[in-house]
Amino acid sequence: MSGIAASILLIGDELMAGEIEDRNGPYLADQLTRQGFRIRDIRFLADDVEGIAAAVTEALRACRLVVVCGGLGPTSDDRTTEAVAQALGKQLILDEEQWERIRKIFSLLRGEEPPPGNEKQAKLPEGADVLLNEMGTALGYVARQGEDAVAVLPGPPKENQHMFEMQLLPWLDRHMPDRSRWAARVFRVFGLPESEVGHRLSNLETEYRDLRVSYRFHFPEILVKLRGDVEAEDRLKAASADLEKLLEPHLYSTGEERLPAVLGRELERRDLRIVAAESCTGGLAAKLLTDVPGSSAWMERGFVVYSNQSKQQLLGVPEEMLKQHGAVSEPVALAMLEGALERSDAQIGFAVTGIAGPGGGTLGRPVGTVCIAWGDQDRSQVETHTFYWDREYNRLLSAWMAMYLVYQLVLGRQSG
């Protein structure tokens, strides 16, 4: 794919040391690609003036746009603006209007003047265009060198992404309009390995050579992305329809919504409420469901029954059943589901019991064995799965599998 070359520089000793996870690089790369830029590279840099300045200088030799993130705070280790000015050969000038804005923020929030150091946040390379920060004190800006530009954004993801969308994108539309625009469609797949997804779509990639198909393993799902010129909307629409057929029934969403939100929407549409009974997942599935805004409309309650005693007391699982079959068994999973439905006002639900690991497995029931029951008052089903990940991933995959099975059941109600 062609496009205006762009480089992304991510600044921070914490990033270099692995102390914090980068969330700006992937976001900016995706957004800039959609806007017709071709990402040349993404680099991590320490809070070092000489290193940052050298990287900016090098990037400008190959790119018309350089996006720099981080290092705009008030402390001594925040040195990005000094480095950018050095790279461009510009003086740092105090923007009196923005300094007054910072002072007002401190006055309103803390009733006092900014502490020493904050004034540096209002110093910008001479001639830079200000990008207002509506969520903090760190100013963003764009400094130009001929037709090239260095856009500097704050490091905190919320500030960074808000400024990119509300400030930098309009600037790019005004000053770099000569670029092709790319449309992207995201397809979310659960229950297939990445290799199988690629195999199913191999002929589609051949048929639609003018589009780009890319894959990303984002545990526990696979993301498939279709990209093409915005002028090729008919081709994107046709390829999307073919892709959906090829990935049925594992394709559960076309967009940004993940499984908990998609399931919740379908439950609300049918005026259904759900209950969760969880052993090995320890309430993780209920947590994922209630992370969705508005989940009170369809999430009835959840039971965390980790011990055998709690399974008996809270869900009425018979003691003899636990002794005969063990806690990790299909009869117990079904009994947990039945008890949860009887003890709630939910119309549909699921139950999960298993061995997440790393210990607790046996020859007959190895680590990763998980029994999942799902259904309603009239019908219920149960399956046993064996997952081969670590404890964290086994628990997450178990929760997703339970939600996915309920999702399929809900769709089955619609289709009969």
Query: Peptide bond preceding 318: is omega within 30 degrees of 0, i.e. cis?
Result: no
Token reading at 142:
């764009």
> What pLDDT is attached to residue 138?
87
What are the residue boundaries of the structural domains of the chain, listed by start? 4-175, 182-253, 259-415
Assign 281 to helix, strand or coil.
Answer: coil
Q: How far apart are the C-alpha atoms of 353 and 332, rounded to whole Å?
A: 8
Chain segment 300-357, per-residue pLDDT in tens: 999 999 999 999 999 999 999 999 999 999 999 999 999 999 999 999 999 999 999 9
Chain segment 35-66, per-residue pLDDT in tens: 889 999 999 999 999 999 999 999 999 999 99
Q: How far apart are the C-alpha atoms of 250 and 366, rounded to whole Å?
A: 27
> What pLDDT is attached to residue 415?
33
> What pLDDT is attached to residue 227?
87
Mean pLDDT score, 74-91: 94
Res 289 pLDDT > 50: yes
Chain segment 260-270, per-residue pLDDT in tens: 999 999 999 99
**182-253 in CATH: which number?**
3.30.70.2860
Long-range contacts: 355-362, Cβ < 8 Å, 24+? Answer: 355/280, 355/328, 356/280, 356/281, 356/391, 356/394, 356/395, 356/398, 357/390, 357/391, 357/394, 358/390, 358/391
> What pLDDT is attached to residue 115?
83
Assign 28 to helix, strand or coil.
Answer: helix
DSSP 282-340: TTHHHHHHHTSTTGGGTEEEEEE--SHHHHHHHH---HHHHHHH-SSSHHHHHHHHHHH
**Model pTM score:** 0.77
Model confidence at 232, in pLDDT bands (50, 70, 90)? confident
Which CATH number is correct for 259-415, 3.40.50.970, 3.30.1050.10, 1.10.3470.10, 3.90.950.20?
Answer: 3.90.950.20
Starting at the earlier edge strand, list the strands of the sheet with 65-69.
37-45, 4-11, 65-69, 148-153, 140-145, 129-131
Mean pLDDT score, 111-139: 88
Res 1 pLDDT > 70: no
Q: How far is CA 312 from CA 81, 106, 263, 303, 308, in A?
A: 63, 57, 29, 12, 6
Mean pLDDT score, 233-252: 95
> What pLDDT is attached to residue 416?
31
> What pLDDT is attached to residue 14?
93
Res 2 pLDDT > 70: no
Percent of the chain with pLDDT over 70: 99
Chain segment 358-391, per-residue pLDDT in tens: 999 998 899 999 999 999 989 999 999 999 999 9
**4-175 in CATH: which number?**
3.40.980.10
Q: Of 15-19, 147-151, 291-295, which range is least confident?
A: 15-19
Nearest residue to 204 (alpha-carbon basis) of 183, 226, 228 = 226
Mean pLDDT score, 65-77: 93
